[in-house]
Structure 1
């Protein structure tokens, strides 16, 4: 019986990997930006938090998140303390960071399932914020977590939150003082998180996002109020 029971965790991992595969297989890749003007997006409801990014505050020491093993342990509200801490460190809106975590919670998280999926798809993202290796390696340069490799993300959700906050900061730093599109700063930064800095800057010039980017922004709007609630409950 003990040997049979030991197989169940791997069954759960296999099912989770299958779920990720089915989700990503059904996704609609974002087409290259075209020259069409951007349609106006509905701005997220205000929560009282400033909509834009500010200059980063001083670095803080790395901290490990609480032990997380079950699927419920990776729910975004669980990481409200880390979101508030590292959003302040990076000088970005904590509601934006939390909303990104909600957006990225479409697939199961945890060391076992993420590494199993990465064996099937080497370019897969890691951590609760779904960061790809290239984005993480660029973000960690000259940061307090510069010595932490990308491979640590599945094991340390706090590191994943910290990296996501600084990545959003870096995206915001690339935005011009004024842009022709109708998106808010937070919306553009979220689009940049999903599609890359080049596309973000194109959207700021008025280029129309593709279907996947529009879907990401719609989900950000859907998650905006619950993100404020998750932070308020902390």
Structure 2
């Protein structure tokens, strides 16, 4: 779910976060920002919620790039009954901005409606797709700290978009293309594209990036 006009503001946020880190004292006596977890500790899940999936640990490595999440993509695409190549391509499409809890929360302070997690999911989409799912008790605020949850939610959101497509449509796009357009622009627009409407420049650009990312996504998940 790309955020319009976000490229350069993201640079400002990243530079701001790096500046904060650079001027922190080197010992452990410096007070942590309000609400931040202790250094080296993962954020505690909400009461009654399971701990974040330990199969991905980018917080330790600093690696939030899509290839890091091949196991999660395979696992949760199968769980949701969608094409893993599509899910991986979506992660590549959504990797246009830096990820990580500190950066994402800094950005959200500037833009409260910003998306969260490695799949850039907005709150409304997450709240809808988690209903009745195995992660129903996990709040949207967990997404930056738990990339596996973010991948799982994206898989089920794509599943829900696909479930809304008619058995046949008149548009020229295939099922995966329409689901990707739905992920970027919403279900209503996806259905309009299925009926033959033409995507605007931003949606067209998203689809072009999907095509650019398609082959490498397939190589990763099918290797």
- Alignment TM-score > 0.5, same fold: yes
Structural RMSD (CA): 2.2
Q: Deviations over 1:41-97 (max 9, x none)?
A: xxxxxxxxxxxxxxxxxxxx9733422137851110110000000000000000000
Matched positions, count: 181
Alignment of 1:52-63 (within 5 A): 63=53
Cα offset, 1:131, TM superposition: 0.1
The equivalent position to 1:154 in structure 2, one of 126, 136, 144, is 144
Supply the distance in 1 between the matched residues of 2:108 and 2:143 (Cα, whole angstroms): 13
Give the gaps of 5 or more residues in structure 2. 1-10, 19-50
Question: What secondary structure does 1:155 align onto?
Answer: coil
Supply the distance in 2 between the matched residues of 1:144 and 1:136 (Cα, whole angstroms): 13
Alignment of 1:96-175 (within 5 A): 96-175=86-165
Question: What secondary structure does 2:63 align onto?
Answer: helix
Q: TM-score, normalised by structure 2?
A: 0.77
Is residue 99–residue 224 contact of structure 1 (8 Å, CA) maintained in 2? Answer: yes
Runs of 4+ in 1 over 2 A off after TM superposition: 11-14, 61-66, 69-72
Higher RCO (CA 8 Å, separation ≥ 6 residues): 1
Q: TM-score, normalised by structure 1?
A: 0.73
Task: Tell me if 1:92 matches 2:82.
Answer: yes
Q: Deviations over 1:195-229 (max 9, x none)?
A: 00000000000000000000000000000001012
Supply the distance in 2 between the matched residues of 1:209 and 1:71 (Cα, whole angstroms): 38
Give the gaps of 5 or more residues in structure 1. 1-10, 19-60
| Pair 126,67 (structure 1): closer, same or farther in 2 beyond 3 Å | same
Is residue 64–residue 157 contact of structure 1 (8 Å, CA) maintained in 2? Answer: no
Supply the distance in 2 between the matched residues of 1:223 and 1:16 (Cα, whole angstroms): 30
Match of 1:227 in 2: 217
Is residue 13–residue 107 contact of structure 2 (8 Å, CA) maintained in 1? Answer: no
Question: What secondary structure does 1:77 align onto?
Answer: helix
Task: Tell me if 1:190 matches 2:164.
Answer: no
Task: Tell me if 1:203 matches 2:193.
Answer: yes
